[in-house]
Chains A and B, each alone.
Chain A
Amino acid sequence: METYKADVVIIGGGGAGLRAAIAVAELDPSLRIALVSKVYPMRSHTVAAEGGSAGVKLPTDKLDYHFNDTVAGGDWLCEQDVVEYFVAQCPVELTQMEHWGCPWSRTPDGHVNVRAFGGMKIERTWFAADKTGFHMLHTLFQTSIKYPSIKRFDEHFCVDLVVADGRVQGAVTIEIASGELTLIEARAAVIATGGAGRVFRENTNGGVVTGDGMALAYRHGVPLRDMEFVQYHPTCMPGTGLLFTEACRGEGGFLVNKDGYRYLQDYGLGPAEPTPRNKAMELGPRDRLSQAFWYEQQKGRTIDGPHGSVVHLDLRHLGEAKLRERLPQIYELAEQFLGVDPALAPIPVRPAVHYTMGGIMVDGLCASPLPGLYAAGECSSVGIHGANRLGSNSLSELCVFGKRAGEEAANFAKSVPPGHSAELLKQAQAVEQRVLGMVKKTGGNERIATLRKEMAQTMEDGCGIYRLADTMQKTCDKLDELKQRFKNVHIEDKSSVWNTEWLLAIELEYQLDVAQAMAYSALNRRESRGAHQRLDGFEARDDVNFLKHSQAHYVADGAPRIDYGPVKITKSQPGTRAYGAAGEKAEQERNASHV
């Protein structure tokens, strides 16, 4: 087995991983960085983010407003000190992206332009047409090429962390093109592997979004925090789940039911006005909009389609010219995949799983409880999203916390001595035996696709927009069963070169662990908050018992152990989450009482 000696290993080459790598390289060019990614970095799922990235920009806006929107949007399950740091760093990091060449859309006088987004009081979403994630990812990837200390391991698949003397000391990877394993020694590691949305059936995520890093940390004893909070994005393509950005509504699009009625006004989001009003109607937060869809469906006011019920995203009144300028990708997706010209006809949409709010538990410095292990981006739970993420906060998160994770990991690496190579290699060889054993094994009879499909279906059934104890219990039981059946998985492909069936099996095993953490965390949260909504006697938020973070702990061959940790409240006491006219009234009352 080859060994590569690095100082910091970064697992994941999307937005957060690239930003972390650049941060390490800028902090100390003498540190050797290994950037491991199972795909070429520009294939990472950051590429698919569309609408934009949040950061206070306009003179009428304030950091406090961004803070309040984020904390209330997260139903007060946010780490408020971390949110405060986050909102202050967003404009700095987005300006950094501008200096690195990100093609932000501009105002006529040349300033970066901002657009409205759901749950945000003031327009503060920086955007590059409707391909913001694509442009940020390519800008970061191309910029990373400047730094000779970043050694990329493209198309290398991470199969384990190496932990010795109570701290992370490396990672073991498979080179996909050869099937050969490598030990990457490092004095600190950053996990930046993205979310886990593919554990659900209908989702907006790319095939790579399989929760790898979450499972890696989890199996080494790091808790996964707030995993029950999974975001359904309200406007996705039926069947495939492909995303129609929230910017469609930020630009003025309507959501209507089968009667052409803007139904959101029936769910505390009105009044319905012809032009968008921030934090109202179509610019409400994602959890509320997806929940409203569910109720419309119950009332029989949705439209039947070949892939289930839909409502209509109506962009016609925006006109072709504006759609082509502001939403060119959406235009082409609708035309090519649905045969719909959005200037002439409404787009059928339904909610689909989009984002994993929870993740690897880290503090505000991106440090996990396992020394030397850091995490950033969707795989992490740094505490800014709470129970419901606001759209456009996650791209900013990649920059702000990717940088921070990189710098903290670099400092940690410099503070500890290198490990004992022989001991690390011994561990790595044991990992090699285990993963090669999966391919060599014969006699299995479970098909990967069958297990994956059953997992995705049971997650949708039990952990969807609304949840009930008995269906969540069924999901937990089903996942236990699938984990048992996985032991009997059959890999047809016995070759070394590009054996993607082998990788799919390893990914599925990661997914089953992450899915268990989600389902058990959901079952145990006996209240409704943000994206976790119950209909079985726990319909209300319960701050007495559940204003706390869930923490799922890995138990080998068993159900996860769930316990809870405190939520950091600094300046925003939990209040009523209200939007539309009700939200404005509540805000006025709050302001009056503060005078």
Chain B
Amino acid sequence: MPHMSDIQKVIEIEVLRYNPETDKAPSSQVFEVPFTDDMSVLQGVQYIKDYLDGSLSFRWSCRMAICGSCGMMINGVPHLSCETFLRDYYPARVRVEALNHFPIERDLVINMEGFINKLESIQPYIIPKEPRTLAQGEYLQTPEQLNLYEQFSSCINCMLCYAACPQFGLNPDFIGPAATALLHRYNVDSRDGGKEERMDLVRSEEGVFHCTAVGYCSEVCPKHVDPANAVNQNKTNAAVDYFLRFVSPKGGAK
């Protein structure tokens, strides 16, 4: 429990509320929340639900920035609310809203079906280059080979990068940063041979050419995945493939 001496501080949390069953449009509501310096924005929002208004809805689980549930716009910037601290906003009011660019289902909960569909569409699994039985044991993969994709495998699907991406805001069909990073993760895995199948999507209408290299996606990424890097590597790949397919029967993809 927080010490009594610490609990004197009270911060105003302004929450964007929306209930589709009763509201025509979202509107703001301000709550006064007592807090200690080690409390996250998520803990502030939990306090509201527990003691001030039980109807406030939001997603959360792990509290340690790995499950990817609790992304919100905090003072207009996409953050994981569990690793963003109230002390950094006090004494000013902090504003909490659903992630940008997604339909709001209720309060801070966005509809993530579109994102899941994208993730499923990129064949996010190993398509073995050389099939191997379990009896044959592990594939060898050097730390250098691991290093080529490890960063892109660290995406927690929190969708902050989509909330940051201006192109996704304009065109919700754009495959977007996280899904491209995941696609790239499998393409450059030494065990995988599925790049050719995946590159069709990269080159398609929804593919990477929509990206205008703003780079804000990588800036907000809480896990240093650097999706902008993946997108731009794939732009080069897609462009190379585009020209190679005139000269190579396999479309140039390796």
Given A92-B134, A112-B138, A306-B2, 11 further pairs, Cβ under 8 A? A99-B138, A104-B138, A131-B154, A138-B153, A142-B182, A177-B111, A336-B65, A337-B83, A493-B55, A498-B109, A501-B49
A101-B186, A109-B142, A134-B156 known; A495+B125 contact, CB < 8 A: no
- Encoded as 1 (CB less than 8 Å from any A CB) or 0, chain B from 98 to 114 comes to 00000001110101100
Q: How far is the CA of A84 from the CA of B243 in the complex (A)?
A: 57
Interface residues of A in 214-244 (CB under 8 A from B): 239-240, 242-243
Please, which residue of chain A has its CB at the minimum distance from the CB of B128? A99
Q: What is the CB-to-nearest-CB distance from B162 to chain A, in angstroms, rounded to a whole number?
A: 15
Q: How far is the CA of A144 from the CA of B67 in the complex (A)?
A: 18
**Is there contact, CB below 8 Å, between A45 and B61?**
yes
**Is there contact, CB below 8 Å, between B68 and A42?**
yes
Q: How far is the CA of A207 from the CA of B57 in the complex (A)?
A: 14
- The answer to the question of B141 belonging to the interface, with a C-beta cut-off of 8 Å to chain A, is yes
- The answer to the question of B169 belonging to the interface, with a C-beta cut-off of 8 Å to chain A, is no
Query: Can you sample 18 A-B contacts with CB below 8 Å?
Result: A40-B157, A42-B68, A44-B67, A98-B139, A99-B134, A104-B138, A110-B142, A110-B145, A112-B138, A143-B125, A143-B126, A242-B63, A306-B3, A306-B38, A336-B83, A493-B54, A495-B21, A500-B49
Q: How far is the CA of A134 from the CA of B157 in the complex (A)?
A: 11
**Is there contact, CB below 8 Å, between B66 and A95?**
no
Residues of A within 8 A of B124 (CB): 142, 145
Q: How far is the CA of A497 from the CA of B55 in the complex (A)?
A: 11
**Is there contact, CB below 8 Å, between A48 and B20?**
no
- Encoded as 1 (CB less than 8 Å from any B CB) or 0, chain A from 77 to 115 comes to 000000000000000100110111101111111111000
- The answer to the question of A555 belonging to the interface, with a C-beta cut-off of 8 Å to chain B, is no
Residues of A within 8 A of B112 (CB): 40
- The answer to the question of A571 belonging to the interface, with a C-beta cut-off of 8 Å to chain B, is no
Q: What is the CB-to-nearest-CB distance from B56 to chain A, in angstroms, rounded to a whole number?
A: 8
Task: Find B62's partner among A47, A96, A332, A337 (CB 8 Å cutoff).
Answer: A47
- Encoded as 1 (CB less than 8 Å from any A CB) or 0, chain B from 1 to 44 comes to 01100100000000000011110000000000000001000000
Interface residues of B in 34-88 (CB under 8 A from A): 38, 49-51, 53-55, 57-69, 83
Q: What is the CB-to-nearest-CB distance from B237 to chain A, in angstroms, rounded to a whole number?
A: 20
Please, which residue of chain A has its CB at the minimum distance from the CB of B137? A95
Residues of B within 8 A of A337 (CB): 38, 64, 83
Determine which residue in A96, A112, A243, A336 has the highest number of CB atoms from chain B within 10 A of its CB, and name it: A336
- The answer to the question of B92 belonging to the interface, with a C-beta cut-off of 8 Å to chain A, is no
- The answer to the question of B191 belonging to the interface, with a C-beta cut-off of 8 Å to chain A, is yes
Residues of A within 8 A of B140 (CB): 109-111
- The answer to the question of A569 belonging to the interface, with a C-beta cut-off of 8 Å to chain B, is no
Task: Find A207's partner among B60, B132, B134 (CB 8 Å cutoff).
Answer: B60
Q: What is the CB-to-nearest-CB distance from A331 to chain B, in angstroms, rounded to a whole number?
A: 12
- The answer to the question of B149 belonging to the interface, with a C-beta cut-off of 8 Å to chain A, is yes
Q: How far is the CA of A513 from the CA of B139 in the complex (A)?
A: 46
Residues of A within 8 A of B109 (CB): 498
A48-B67, A101-B126, A336-B83 known; A449+B50 contact, CB < 8 A: yes
Residues of A within 8 A of B143 (CB): 105-108
**Is there contact, CB below 8 Å, between A47 and B67?**
yes
**Is there contact, CB below 8 Å, between B150 and A103?**
yes
Q: How far is the CA of A207 from the CA of B63 in the complex (A)?
A: 8
- The answer to the question of A154 belonging to the interface, with a C-beta cut-off of 8 Å to chain B, is yes
**Is there contact, CB below 8 Å, between A96 and B21?**
no
Q: How far is the CA of A143 from the CA of B194 in the complex (A)?
A: 14
Q: What is the CB-to-nearest-CB distance from A342 to chain B, in angstroms, rounded to a whole number?
A: 15
Residues of A within 8 A of B20 (CB): 497
Residues of A within 8 A of B53 (CB): 492
Task: Find B68's partner among A43, A240, A491 (CB 8 Å cutoff).
Answer: A43
Task: Find B142's partner among A99, A106, A206 (CB 8 Å cutoff).
Answer: A106
- The answer to the question of B214 belonging to the interface, with a C-beta cut-off of 8 Å to chain A, is no
Residues of B within 8 A of A108 (CB): 142-143
Please, which residue of chain B has its CB at the minimum distance from the CB of A50? B66
Task: Find B138's partner among A43, A95, A495, A500 (CB 8 Å cutoff).
Answer: A95
Q: How far is the CA of A142 from the CA of B157 in the complex (A)?
A: 12
Q: How far is the CA of A446 from the CA of B2 in the complex (A)?
A: 24
**Is there contact, CB below 8 Å, between A495 and B22?**
yes
Taking Cβ atoms with an 8 Å cutoff, the residues of A that contact B are 39-40, 42-45, 47-48, 92, 95-96, 98-101, 103-112, 131, 134-135, 138, 142-143, 145-146, 154, 177, 206-208, 239-240, 242-243, 306, 329, 332-333, 336-337, 447-449, 491-493, 495-501
Task: Find A501's partner among B54, B66, B69, B105 (CB 8 Å cutoff).
Answer: B54
Interface residues of B in 124-169 (CB under 8 A from A): 124-126, 128, 132, 134, 137-143, 145-146, 149-150, 153-154, 156-157
**Is there contact, CB below 8 Å, between B141 and A110?**
yes
**Is there contact, CB below 8 Å, between B66 and A47?**
yes
Residues of B within 8 A of A449 (CB): 49-51
Residues of B within 8 A of A112 (CB): 138
- The answer to the question of B206 belonging to the interface, with a C-beta cut-off of 8 Å to chain A, is no
**Is there contact, CB below 8 Å, between B61 and A39?**
yes
**Is there contact, CB below 8 Å, between B22 and A106?**
no
Q: What is the CB-to-nearest-CB distance from B18 to chain A, in angstroms, rounded to a whole number?
A: 10
- The answer to the question of B241 belonging to the interface, with a C-beta cut-off of 8 Å to chain A, is no
Q: What is the CB-to-nearest-CB distance from A541 to chain B, in angstroms, rounded to a whole number?
A: 35
- The answer to the question of B197 belonging to the interface, with a C-beta cut-off of 8 Å to chain A, is no
- The answer to the question of B226 belonging to the interface, with a C-beta cut-off of 8 Å to chain A, is no
Task: Find B189's partner among A44, A92, A101 (CB 8 Å cutoff).
Answer: A101
**Is there contact, CB below 8 Å, between B67 and A177?**
no
Q: How far is the CA of A145 from the CA of B127 in the complex (A)?
A: 12
Q: How far is the CA of A549 from the CA of B38 in the complex (A)?
A: 42
Q: What is the CB-to-nearest-CB distance from B4 to chain A, in angstroms, rounded to a whole number?
A: 12
**Is there contact, CB below 8 Å, between A206 and B67?**
yes
A47-B62, A495-B22, A496-B21 known; A106+B54 contact, CB < 8 A: no
Q: What is the CB-to-nearest-CB distance from B217 to chain A, in angstroms, rounded to a whole number?
A: 19
Residues of B within 8 A of A109 (CB): 140, 142
- The answer to the question of B192 belonging to the interface, with a C-beta cut-off of 8 Å to chain A, is yes
A101-B125, A145-B124 known; A495+B62 contact, CB < 8 A: no
Q: What is the CB-to-nearest-CB distance from B151 to chain A, in angstroms, rounded to a whole number?
A: 10
Q: How far is the CA of A134 from the CA of B125 in the complex (A)?
A: 15
Residues of B within 8 A of A42 (CB): 67-68, 156-157
Please, which residue of chain A has its CB at the minimum distance from the CB of B36? A306
**Is there contact, CB below 8 Å, between A501 and B116?**
no
Task: Find B64's partner among A40, A48, A98 (CB 8 Å cutoff).
Answer: A48
- The answer to the question of B120 belonging to the interface, with a C-beta cut-off of 8 Å to chain A, is yes
**Is there contact, CB below 8 Å, between A498 and B125?**
no
Q: How far is the CA of A419 from the CA of B55 in the complex (A)?
A: 39
Determine which residue in B2, B21, B62, B137 has the highest number of CB atoms from chain A within 10 A of its CB, and name it: B62
Residues of A within 8 A of B68 (CB): 42-43, 47
**Is there contact, CB below 8 Å, between A495 and B153?**
no
Residues of B within 8 A of A206 (CB): 61-63, 67
Q: How far is the CA of A497 from the CA of B68 in the complex (A)?
A: 22
**Is there contact, CB below 8 Å, between B61 and A497?**
no
Residues of B within 8 A of A146 (CB): 125
Q: What is the CB-to-nearest-CB distance from A322 to chain B, in angstroms, rounded to a whole number?
A: 14
Residues of B within 8 A of A45 (CB): 61-62, 67
Task: Find A95's partner among B59, B62, B134, B145 (CB 8 Å cutoff).
Answer: B134
**Is there contact, CB below 8 Å, between B55 and A100?**
no
**Is there contact, CB below 8 Å, between A333 and B106?**
no
**Is there contact, CB below 8 Å, between A100 and B61?**
no
